[in-house]
């Protein structure tokens, strides 16, 4: 990867790195996932990991990268979410295990 680890970069820096280098979305996701594995065990800050969904979401971006299509499409795929945000298809527990299986129907948009 780049000189800096992907998890150390700002969103803009990471986007520029992915746009201008051989680094891939999958490599960036893998680096972020490894960082979470290395640090969250003692922080216990992550509520829900979405590794499978994130890597599946990165597949179209990876295909575009492989075809050298750097047209500026902004890809987004969540690697983790907090339990206090409504994200379609995931439970919004707000740390309450009793409501852990209730999935939000749509994303909550805030301004």
Side-chain half-sphere CA neighbours of 15 within 13 A: 9
Residue 95 counted as domain residue: no
Spatial distance between the Cα atoms of 82 and 103, rounded to a whole number of angstroms? 13
Evaluate whether residue 59 is within a structural domain.
yes
Q: What is the pLDDT of residue 1?
A: 45
**Under a CB-based contact definition with an 8 Å cutoff, are residues 74 and 58 in contact?**
no
Plot region of 40 (φ>0 → left; ψ -120 to 50 → alpha; else → beta) = alpha
Q: Has residue 68 been placed in a domain?
A: yes
pTM reported for the whole predicted model: 0.61
Query: Does some domain include residue 109?
Result: no
Query: How confident is residue 82, by pLDDT bands cut at 50, 70 and 90?
Result: low
Neighbours of 74 (CB within 10 A): 7
Q: Does residue 96 form part of some domain? A: no
Residue 18 phi, psi dihedral angles, 5° rounding? -65, -35
Tens digits of residue pLDDT in 1-40: 446 888 888 888 888 887 777 677 888 888 888 888 888 7
Q: Kind of pairing, strands 48-49 and 80-81?
A: antiparallel
pLDDT, averaged across the chain: 70
* Within-domain flag for 12: yes
Residue 58: name the closest of 37, 31, 82 by CA.
Answer: 31
Q: Confirm whether 23 is domain-assigned.
A: yes
Residue 105 lies in a domain: no
* Total structural domains within the chain: 1
Q: Where are the beta strands (DSSP E) in the chain?
A: 48-49, 80-81
Print the domain residue range for 36: 6-80
Do the beta carbons of residue 54 and residue 79 sit within 8 Å? yes
């Amino acid at each position: 990867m780049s000189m800096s680890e992907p998890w150390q970069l700002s969103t803009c820096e990471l986007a520029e790195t992915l746009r201008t280098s051989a680094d891939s979305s999958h490599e960036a996701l893998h680096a972020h996932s490894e960082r979470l594995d290395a640090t969250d065990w003692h922080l216990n800050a992550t509520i829900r990991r979405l590794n499978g969904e994130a890597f599946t979401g990165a597949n179209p971006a990876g295909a575009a990268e492989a075809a050298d299509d750097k047209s500026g499409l902004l890809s987004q795929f969540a690697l983790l979410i907090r339990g206090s945000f409504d994200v379609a298809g995931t439970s919004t527990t707000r740390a309450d295990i009793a409501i852990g299986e209730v999935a939000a129907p749509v994303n909550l948009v805030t301004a």
